[in-house]
Amino acid sequence: MINQSEYQDKSSKPHKQHESTRAMSKLSFAQEGQKQSSLSTIFGITNSMVGSLCLVIPQVFQQCGIITCLIVMIILSLVQYKTCQIMIIHQKEEELDSEHMIKRLLGKSWTQAFRVTSGTLLFIVGIIYFQLINLTLYPILVLIFEKSNYTNYAMPSDGITFDKFSIQWQAIIIFLPLASMLLLKDITKIIKFAHYGVVAIICYCIFIIYIFSANMININEFKGDITWFTWNFIQPAGQFAFGFMVHNSVGQLIKNNANKANNSRDLLISYGIAAIIYGIIGTFGAIGIMGKTAVNPSTILDFFSSTDYAVLFIEGLFLVHLVAAFPIFPYISIYQILETFYHKEYPQKFQWGLKGVFICSCLIVQLFNINVGIVISFDGAVCGFLLVYIIPVYMHFKCYYGNRTNVGDALLDHDSNCVKHKNINYLSLPLRVIIYLIILCVGIFNMIIFFYDFFK
C-alpha cells in the first residue's frame, strides 16, 4: 500500500508525451514550450473547428430550411461547448492533454476508450478529406476536358461509372500519390503549412458574400425559392455535431494559454465565432445559390458551372489545403490506436496494416459514391458520442461527487486527485443531474435520428 505523499510524488512526475500528443500539440499556433495569448488560443480553436464543413452546409441550409439549421446550430454549439468546457476545467496545468486527465480521473480503461474513439474520429475525418479532394479536383479536370474538346467523361451526379472517365477513376489515379503521403515520418512542416488553410476559408467567405449580394439584387425573382423552416433537422444535426467537435484536441490547444483563468472564456468565444461563421456561410450561401440547380449535390460548388473562374479559384485553394492537411489525420489516428495497445515500441506490421486499411477505406467510400454529407453526419453524430457526451459528463460527476472512489486507495483524498473547483456548489446536485441528462439526451437523440434516416 502506498501512502498519500508517495502518490503525490508519483503524480508530480512529468507525463510521457506520446507521438499523437506531440503531433496534436503542433495544431496550436504557439511555439513549442512558449505561452500564447488568448487571441492566439481563440484563433487556434476556431481554426480547428471551421474547415471542410463550410463546403457542405450552404445546400443543407437550402434543403432543410435556414431557420431550422440556425436553431439546430445554436443548440449543438451550446451543448458541445459545455461538454468541451468540462474537458478543460478538469485538466491540471502539468497534464499535456486530455488523455492524461481522463486517466487520472477515470482510469486506464476509459483512457483506452478515449484513444480508440478519437482515433476512429480522425480516421473518418481523413476519409472525408479524401472525398473532398476528389470533389474539388474533378471540376478542375472537367474544365480541362472541355477546353481540350474531350467528351468521354461522366459528371459526379451520374453515380458509379466505370465505362468512361469518372470521379471513381480519378480516385483510383490519385490513390497512390495520396497513399505515399502516409510514408511521412514527421508531419511538423505539414501541420505548419496546413495552418495557412485559413486563407482558403477567408476567400471562400468572400465568395459566399459575393454570390449572396448578387442574388439579393434580384431577390424578388427568387424569394419564393427560399426555404425558411422544415422539420428536417436530421442532416444539420449530424453535420453541426461534427463541426463543433474539438474535444479530442482542446487539451493541447489551451495548454499554452498564458492566462489559464481565461480558458473557459476563450473557448466560449471560439465557439461563438465558429457559430457565426457557420451561420453566415449557411444563410448567405443558401440565398446565393437560389435559382441554381444541381443533381445530388455534395458541396456548394456543384451548383456552379465548371467554367466559372471564381469557383475554379476557390476549388484550387481548397484543393491545396485539403491535400496538405490530408496526412495529418491518419497520422494522429494511427498513433492513437497504436498507443492503445502498445506502450513503447509499435510493431511495423501493425502500423503498415492500419495505413493500408485507412487508404483502402478512402478508396472504397469514393468508389461506392457515398455522399460526403452522410460520412460527416456519421462521424459527428455516432462516432463522436462517447467522446463528446459520455466521457465529459461521467468525468464531471466523478470529479465533483466521486470522492475517493476512482483511485483505489482509501488514503487518497478527493482534492489530491481532482482540480479544486470554486463553483462546485453553484448548482445543486439534482439540478446538475437534470442539466446533464438533457445534454446526454441531445447526444442520444442525434445518434438515433441518424440511424433512422440512414436505414429508412
Number of C-beta neighbours around residue 387 at 10 A: 22
**Nearest CA to 23 among 191, 253, 205, 222?**
191
Instruction: Domain 35-455: state its class.
Output: mainly alpha
- Output DSSP code: residue 244: T
22's grid cell: 506531440
Q: State the Cα–Cα distance between residues 203 and 433, nearest whole angstrom.
A: 44
Q: State the Cα–Cα distance between residues 322 and 325, nearest whole angstrom.
A: 5
Q: Span 397-424, mean pLDDT?
A: 56
Q: Express as a percent the part of the chain with pLDDT over 90.
A: 52
449's grid cell: 435520428
Return the residue matching grid coordinates 489545403.
321
**What is the b/e burial string over 88-97, where b = at least 16 CB atoms within 10 angstroms of the residue's CB?**
bebbeeebbb
- Output DSSP code: residue 2: -
Q: Express as a percent the part of the chain with pLDDT over 70.
A: 87
Number of residues in the chain: 456
Return the residue matching grid coordinates 466560449.
268
Confidence band, pLDDT 50/70/90 cuts, at residue 91: confident
- Output DSSP code: residue 344: S
34's grid cell: 512558449
Burial class (CB in 10 A: 0-12, 13-18, 19+), 63: middle
Angle at 214 between CA 213 and CA 220, to 5 degrees: 95
pLDDT of residue 131: 96
Q: Which residue has the higher pLDDT, 456 or 368?
A: 368
Is 227 in contact with 66 (CB distance < 8 Å)?
A: yes
pLDDT of residue 412: 36
The pLDDT tens digits for 373-399 are 999 999 999 999 999 999 999 998 888
pLDDT of residue 189: 83
Confidence band, pLDDT 50/70/90 cuts, at residue 422: low
The pLDDT tens digits for 230-273 are 999 999 999 999 999 999 989 888 888 888 888 999 999 999 99
Q: State the Cα–Cα distance between residues 258 and 280, nearest whole angstrom.
A: 31
Write down the mean pLDDT value for the chain.
86
Question: Per DSSP, what are the bridge partners of residue 257?
Answer: 36
Q: Span 141-167, mean pLDDT?
A: 88
416: pLDDT strictly greater than 60? no
Supply the pTM of this predicted model.
Answer: 0.90
Burial class (CB in 10 A: 0-12, 13-18, 19+), 185: exposed
Distance, C-alpha 390 to centroid of its chain: 18
Is 28 in contact with 195 (CB distance < 8 Å)?
A: no
Angle at 327 between CA 325 and CA 330, to 5 degrees: 120
* One-character DSSP codes across 173-207: HHHHHHHHGGG-S--HHHHHHHTTHHHHHHHHHHH
The pLDDT tens digits for 338-366 are 888 887 777 888 999 999 999 999 999 99
pLDDT of residue 21: 67
Q: State the Cα–Cα distance between residues 388 and 400, nearest whole angstrom.
A: 19
* One-character DSSP codes across 392-448: HHHHHHHHHH-TTTSSS-TTS-HHHHS---TTTTSS-HHHHHHHHHHHHHHHHHHHH
310: pLDDT strictly greater than 80? yes
Q: Span 416-421, mean pLDDT?
A: 65
2: pLDDT strictly greater than 50? no
Confidence band, pLDDT 50/70/90 cuts, at residue 405: very low
Domain coordinates in residue numbering, the chain:
35-455
28: pLDDT strictly greater than 80? no
Question: Per DSSP, what are the bridge partners of residue 165?
Answer: 153
309: pLDDT strictly greater than 50? yes
Confidence band, pLDDT 50/70/90 cuts, at residue 225: confident
208: pLDDT strictly greater than 90? yes
Q: Which residue has the higher pLDDT, 285 or 21?
A: 285
The SS3 assignment for 31 reads coil
408: pLDDT strictly greater than 70? no
pLDDT of residue 182: 92
**Nearest CA to 160 among 15, 371, 303?**
371
pLDDT of residue 340: 85
SS3 content of the chain, % helix, strand, coil (to 5): 70, 0, 30
Q: Span 405-410, mean pLDDT?
A: 39
